[in-house]
Chains A and B, each alone.
Chain A
Amino acid sequence: MQYKSQMVAKPYFIGALVLFVAQILFGLIMGLQYVVGDFLFPHIPFNVARMVHTNALIVWLLMGFMGAAYYMVPEESECELYSPKLALIMFWIFLAAAGLTVVGYLAVPYATLAKITGNDLLPTMGREFLEQPTITKIGIVVVALAFLFNLSMTFLKGRKTSITTVMLLGLWGLAIMFLFSFVNPDNLVRDKFYWWWVVHLWVEGVWELILGAILAFVLIKITGVDREVIEKWLYVIITLSLITGLIGTGHHYFWIGTPEYWQWLGSVFSALEPVPFFAMTLFAFNMVNRRRREHPNRAATLWALGTGVMSFLGAGVWGFLHTLSPVNYYTHGTQITAAHGHMAFYGAYVMVVLTIISYAMPLMRGRAANSNASQVLEMWGFWLMTISMVFITLFLTGAGILQVWLQRVSTTPMGFMATQDQVALFYWLREGTGLVFMIGLAVYLFSFFKDGKSAA
């Protein structure tokens, strides 16, 4: 670690991991409710557990991105952060807002939460992933603006690299697209149309810039390959991401009342969306193979390679599986979507945040890498979580295929609930695998407390 102010990343990473635990716990609750429907009812109804599960994911990934940016930008800019104090204040505001929102979800019925936070003044609640009270959304905007101000000032006074340029473009894009969460027309088609400007243009747009920048930063550090080579790869990857992903938004515009030419545009462009992810896989492996040094942090290398592979499988392959409109006609809104969502989020965004944490945390704790014993545990965590996620995805895919067949393809279609009963076995298998994921997460977290110092 070269600059004192990079330390502000630490609370962000710790906060992210705490929310990660909450996310998985609520995921297990929901997974069980799929088969034991009345589990914890009426105390934690499914919709509440799901809000905590998805919102915790989004917030901890954002915290991870922020931590990554606070760590990377001073080092790349070769100067101290503009205001470390502002960064720390914003961390506590962000954590408090997230905590209060979760308490709100759990403590009172959602309608009450909507009422006491004045949702009727500016209705933004009750839409998937954007369930946060309007006041929380405003809080997110304030935190994001302060964060971007802090980083942009740092960027402007220091060395400007391709990595920080791309990272800041991604983060500014993230903040700007989030403003569409305040757009909620009464017209349902227009509501859905612009809702995707937040959701799709985040995860299949600007977030890919952030992902690419973080991966490029870590690869420069652990492989010692020329910056010139890595930055060229980075630009090629993000170019491919945006030229496929922007019009690729059309794969969400098949069945929501939008014109039917989107079926062609969405199918063709989103069928190309695996290409940038495949480039990312090649990138990670190429750079590691051409490494000019043996970095002692082998765990970070494993996470970086894992991100390359799993983002391609989850976002690329599982996305392609149901992205062509004639296929999507049958799979839209089934467990196939859930299967893709799980592996794509894990493979791309969870893993890249864990990559930067793996690389940066030992440095912030005063060592180049953790002890061998600690790294071995961390790698156990990697494999347990990653393999579990592969099986969660496979079981959900099995559930989805059966669901599509029974409910939509069959000449005597079954009702939704009757179909759910038929696929229960897959849900049980998914829940069991989810428990293994939790064990993997526990092992991973334990590695932070395992005598990291000795023989680094």
Chain B
Amino acid sequence: MKGTIKDLLKVSGVHGYALIQDKSIQIKLPSKHKFSGSKESIKMLYDNLVPVEKRPGNVVEIFLEDMVLTIFVNGTIMLVVISSTRVNLALLRMTGKLVIANMVKERR
């Protein structure tokens, strides 16, 4: 597997993602999606999660009524994957860990 965001989007049930690196935010979601205009909320999540040095682990899952936010943090990169509640969460976490590890590797 290449370990790119495309691999994440292939996981059944994934709606899209938001990627935050330093000051840039990139959101890829269907235009009518609940989170497509949530730049500010995602930035707030970033500001709350990224500076926490002693956070145990680097995957955070937020379960909403009709969707799940799976957040991968590594250094100053944060990847939020938005998916349905029926997604295979373990597969999503596995793929997400690979994707974010690759992103960090490419930045070095």
B is a partner of A: no
Q: Which residues of B contact A (CB under 8 A)?
A: none
Q: Which residues of A contact B (CB under 8 A)?
A: none
